[in-house]
Structure 1
């Protein structure tokens, strides 16, 4: 079987034009409790040539092959893998520490294992295992005849979550090293089940295991409570980007004395206007059309080239703009993809009058209109024209029927259900003589923006009122006793409020 797997890996490299940097066994065989009919779960990490990895087309970052002859291969591109490793992805961390390795670039494996250990998110990894344990418990162990596989998968995830929370390190992959962390009686029951499964089929049931059931049902809720108390943690991108750059296929510039990656936060308007990035810049809009007047906006459009140190990182960028989008600069990959879709605002940049062009790199001449224009223009330009007509009609309505300048508060859109109709909230409060600070709301299940209204004049401090004290555009809810009965029902037309705010 080892020879078959090595042959398979070589075939995958040739078929997909990739280089496999690491391949291992995952799942029950790596954990040490495989059945005689278990598949070989082969997982691998790979890199692609630059011309295939970085194109304007959205390529796949995953290779999945149908199971054949008990071989179940699947792999991730290193960019995807490092993005997941930054989040302490549990499956990937297990791959990196698998006891069964089919192929490995030693330096690559060392780099990724170091990242996994030095930048471990204890809460993220433990939560991964807690989620798996809960999933296997609900789907596999609440049935009449649970399988040994269901028990072992759930127990391994549960013990792994406990291990991460206690030690702050990835759990051992072989299950035999996790079993001793359970109480003696439970550990012995697990060992007996592992031995039984070794001679059983993949989904055969050993019958209900009371000792294991009790252990799972007692410990699974406690893991959740412990996790909720853990602080949120996140990893910096820098170390992961550096490893990605090191293992990407394009070479470092021959004349570079130092090489520092650039990050998304560094792409400001001032930065993309620098000569090393700027490809094109021009005045656009009404001033380019010749339809401007003294109060017209001054629109700028540009195209910039993100350096290879960014393209090889874990971040993407489409454009950089100011708050009003009067100045918009497109990354060249995004610009070309919009050209291919015959976007009217983008296509017109290829026909910008010379008098409006501020900067034009010779490379911009490679983008020729005839390479992009197609019959699709009839649809895209037609739709754009219709959208402008609808916009003009809407503006005309605002001019003829101006809206009040002052925004109505959210309470004007709240009503109390009464009989076959409703009354405005303020009218109801006045008629009933109720202080809204004595009220508390509870959201009604399965009824969007509808609330049960409760009152407690004796303990008003326990009621939060109807609207937030910090934001009158937000409704607040209170905690009430289960036996409390509502005095009314409130409904809020939130969609009408949002439309009013946009008017």
Structure 2
């Protein structure tokens, strides 16, 4: 069997282009209580070549193979493994200390064992075993005829959790070394069960084990309380990154030390050693700007191998308002593959808007990325937005008060064929609302009988909750009591008001004042800047479909500025948009563009750009 497993490991290396650094047995065989029909749970850690690790291809950090002839192999990439080891992952720590090892690079195994010991999270590892014990107890031992496997898995996890809490180190993997930590009578019962299982099938039941049931039910709750009292175990990423870099196949660079996510500031990514591209974007590249227009900066940077090979990731760096956004090249290429309009447009940035352009940027050619996906991302997105443009008018002509109306504002007392406001009724009747009580009317949603007990006013709870200003409270009232009135609360209107109030003042806080002034000045009832951009997107979509190109600045920038100033009615612009949308649909139907960009080609481009920055 060992020879078969060795052959399997070599075949996996050849098939997946990996190098296995460590392989062992996991589960019941490693624990020492396998059944005759137990599988061989083969677990391994591997490393991939740099060209695989740095791509955007649909790879995985896990290799799982279907069980065949009792062999159940599965492995983790070392980056995934070290990320889990930093969290004191119990399964991985057991692998590293398995008594059955099929293959090991001795130095690699020593490095990981040292990490596990020196940076152990006592709380994290104990919680792993506590969780397993609880899971096996609930899922396996509550049945009428629980299996021996269920008992042993639960007991092993329970004793392992106790070992971690008492000794502050990983428990021994062989179960035989854990059994003596139980009381003598329980240890004897466990030994008997292990001997019985050795000759039984995988899920055969020995019957209910009363002594073991009592032990598990007595000890399991206490572990949680003891573990919860432990402080957290913050762990630095640095030693794990160092081991990861030492055992990765990535090429050496001029990095003198690992780089961490916190170091990627705007100032840092703008430096020439990391910067691939930087330009002014937005209205100034479209030709629709004016003298007060903002300078929206967009850039692309390349993270160094020491970061990419570590345990962190990064997509972009930006300021608070996203006026300045710099994309990591991997994220940028992923957005190009999705034909994101803002990203595609950067490939056509006018020369006078470009502030920095590394020679490697020339590898990002539009013909490798433009596709019929632009039909959706440019054209159909534009049409969805143009119909939303009128929503601004609702906020302009329907401002919300600074203070939200309270719930009482939506409460009325029924009177005759109508109703009066609650506050008006209280004042007219000379009543103190805190001496009133409500009882919910059956079969009448949000309707309440109102009671007033002059003899025992303190028994009444009032109308509104003192803890939640948006809630009504009810009181206990004698069955014979007669209501003095009926109250109805329009709760739906109250919730709608709260939502509108919240959205309005969020909009006020975030709105662009210049844009707001323009829209209120032309008084057309729509967001003219939004309409300008959506019509621009439609024009660009037509250009992409027909010419495989975008012209910047826009040739019709003067017309776009007229739209922005509110010169046209909403209905007129909607008609133009629908005509352009129809033209766009026809253009894409006839277009020779591919349905989507080539992911393989994008990966090649990304790797070539990264390689050009290796010595930067």
- Give the alignment's TM-score, normalised by structure 1: 0.85
1:347 alignment partner in structure 2: 344
In 1: Cα distance, 2:411 partner to 2:329 partner: 55
In 2: Cα distance, 1:428 partner to 1:228 partner: 54
- Residue in structure 1 matching 2:301, options 301, 304, 310: 304
Q: 1:170-189 residue pairs with structure 2 within 5 A?
A: 170-189=170-189
1:266 alignment partner in structure 2: 263
In 1: Cα distance, 2:247 partner to 2:118 partner: 19
CA distance 1:231–1:295, shift in 2 (3 Å): same
Higher deviation after alignment, 488-497 or 140-149: 488-497
- Partners of 1:344 and 1:384 within 8 A in 2: no
In 2: Cα distance, 1:111 partner to 1:486 partner: 69
In 2: Cα distance, 1:427 partner to 1:236 partner: 64
Shift of the alpha carbon at 1:496? 6.1
CA distance 1:348–1:38, shift in 2 (3 Å): same
Are 2:324 and 1:332 equivalent residues in the alignment? no
- Compute the RMSD of aligned alpha carbons: 3.2
1:163 alignment partner in structure 2: 163
In 2: Cα distance, 1:489 partner to 1:100 partner: 73
SS at match of 2:22: strand
1:71 alignment partner in structure 2: 71
- Residue in structure 2 matching 1:403, options 396, 399, 402: 399
Q: 1:450-461 residue pairs with structure 2 within 5 A?
A: none
In 2: Cα distance, 1:425 partner to 1:143 partner: 59
Q: 1:203-282 residue pairs with structure 2 within 5 A?
A: 203-253=203-253, 256=254, 259-282=256-279
Q: 1:88-127 residue pairs with structure 2 within 5 A?
A: 88-127=88-127
SS at match of 1:57: coil
In 2: Cα distance, 1:221 partner to 1:489 partner: 49
In 2: Cα distance, 1:54 partner to 1:135 partner: 38
In 2: Cα distance, 1:100 partner to 1:150 partner: 23
Shift of the alpha carbon at 1:377? 1.2
SS at match of 1:320: strand
1:501 alignment partner in structure 2: 502
- Give the alignment's TM-score, normalised by structure 2: 0.70
Shift of the alpha carbon at 1:165? 1.0
Shift of the alpha carbon at 1:119? 1.1
In 1: Cα distance, 2:422 partner to 2:251 partner: 68
- Partners of 1:93 and 1:170 within 8 A in 2: yes
In 1: Cα distance, 2:57 partner to 2:45 partner: 21
Shift of the alpha carbon at 1:386? 2.2
1:361 alignment partner in structure 2: 358
In 2: Cα distance, 1:418 partner to 1:120 partner: 65
- Partners of 2:43 and 2:73 within 8 A in 1: yes
CA distance 1:285–1:165, shift in 2 (3 Å): same
CA distance 1:489–1:209, shift in 2 (3 Å): farther
Shift of the alpha carbon at 1:114? 1.0
SS at match of 1:230: coil
Q: 1:398-477 residue pairs with structure 2 within 5 A?
A: 398-399=395-396, 401-404=397-400, 406-408=402-404, 411-412=406-407, 433-434=433-434, 465-467=466-468
In 1: Cα distance, 2:458 partner to 2:82 partner: 57
CA distance 1:415–1:31, shift in 2 (3 Å): farther
SS at match of 1:138: helix
Shift of the alpha carbon at 1:414? 10
CA distance 1:281–1:229, shift in 2 (3 Å): same
SS at match of 2:333: helix
Can you give the 5+ residue segments of structure 1 that lack an aligned partner in the other structure? Answer: 437-455, 476-483
Shift of the alpha carbon at 1:123? 1.1
- Partners of 1:162 and 1:223 within 8 A in 2: yes
In 2: Cα distance, 1:247 partner to 1:269 partner: 31
1:452 alignment partner in structure 2: none
SS at match of 1:297: coil
- Residue in structure 2 matching 1:321, options 294, 318, 322: 318
In 2: Cα distance, 1:42 partner to 1:178 partner: 23
In 2: Cα distance, 1:107 partner to 1:279 partner: 38
Are 2:150 and 1:150 equivalent residues in the alignment? yes
1:480 alignment partner in structure 2: none
Any idea what the Cα deviations from partners look like across 1:345-375, whole Å, max 9, x if unmatched?
1100011111111111111011111111112
In 1: Cα distance, 2:380 partner to 2:423 partner: 45
In 1: Cα distance, 2:249 partner to 2:33 partner: 38
Aligned length: 461
1:2 alignment partner in structure 2: 2
1:449 alignment partner in structure 2: none
2:569 alignment partner in structure 1: none
Are 2:377 and 1:380 equivalent residues in the alignment? yes
Can you give the 5+ residue segments of structure 2 that lack an aligned partner in the other structure? Answer: 437-456, 478-486, 505-616
Shift of the alpha carbon at 1:405? 5.5
SS at match of 1:434: helix
Larger CA Rg, structure 1 vs 2 = 2
In 2: Cα distance, 1:108 partner to 1:368 partner: 42
In 1: Cα distance, 2:466 partner to 2:223 partner: 35
- Partners of 1:429 and 1:435 within 8 A in 2: no
In 1: Cα distance, 2:114 partner to 2:287 partner: 60
CA distance 1:102–1:417, shift in 2 (3 Å): farther
Q: Which has the higher contact order (CA 8 A, sep 6+)?
A: 2
